[in-house]
Every structure is written in C-alpha cells, then in structure tokens.
Amino acid sequence: MRAPLLVVAIITLVACSAAIRVPPTGPHLGDDPIAVPTRPPPGKVQVVPPPPATAKKPVWIDGEWEWTGRRWQWKDGRWEEMQGDYWAPAITVRLSDGSLAHFKGRWKKGAAPK
C-alpha cells in the first residue's frame, strides 16, 4: 500500500518542481557587506503560488531574511521577471576576523563565474 503512495508523491514532486523556473545564481562580486550581530533565523517554508498570468517569463525568487539595522525581517518569496543576468541570493558569512557579514539578494549584471 505504501509503494503506490510513494510513487504518486514522487511523480507529484517532479511535476510540480518542473513548473518552477528559477534564475541562474552567482556570487555577490563587488557588493559591500552589511555587518550583522547574529546569523538570520532559519528560512521559512512557503507554498509557491502560480506565476502571474501577465508575466512573460517569470522566475521564482526564494524568500529571505533581511537585516533592518535592528533585527531580521522576513521577505516572502516572489515571482519576478529577469532584471539582470543572474540572481545573487542573500547570504550571511563569517569573515576572517570573526565578524558576520550579510549580503542582500539582488540581481547582478555580467556572467556568473563558475
């Protein structure tokens, strides 16, 4: 009984994931980091809505935490038209001096290095 349900779940997952277009991603070359005191909380789970009917070639941008200067604030995922050559997703990294630096998600021009 479990095997048929597993097959249905896998087929549904594959069928749904194929419909979600995502942009090419790459690094934050040349961006200035934002100093933050802590890492952001874990990401939130979102149900991806259908793309807007008026969009020509929408891509899905995952939700992300943004630093407001005082606290982390969640920014929901969304459908967008390509606004650059690639998307540099939000990331928080520990620098060599031990401090934390955050880069906001943003569109970038130029080819993403491999």
Domain count, the chain: 1
Give the single-character DSSP code of 39: P
Q: Is the predicted pLDDT of residue 33 greater than 70, yes or no?
A: yes
Q: What is the mean pLDDT of residues 69-90?
A: 95
Give the single-character DSSP code of 25: B
104 inside domain: yes
49 inside domain: yes
Q: Is the predicted pLDDT of residue 79 greater than 70, yes or no?
A: yes
25 inside domain: yes
User: What is the phi/psi pair of residue 98, to 5°?
Assistant: 95, -10
Q: Which helix (H) or strand (E) holds 92?
A: strand 91-94
Q: Is the predicted pLDDT of residue 56 greater than 50, yes or no?
A: yes
Answering whether pTM is above 0.95, one says no
Domain limits for position 24: 2-108
Q: What is the mean pLDDT of residues 65-69?
A: 97
113 inside domain: no
Tally of CB atoms within 10 A around 61:
20
114 inside domain: no
Residue 8 pLDDT class (50, 70, 90 cuts): very low
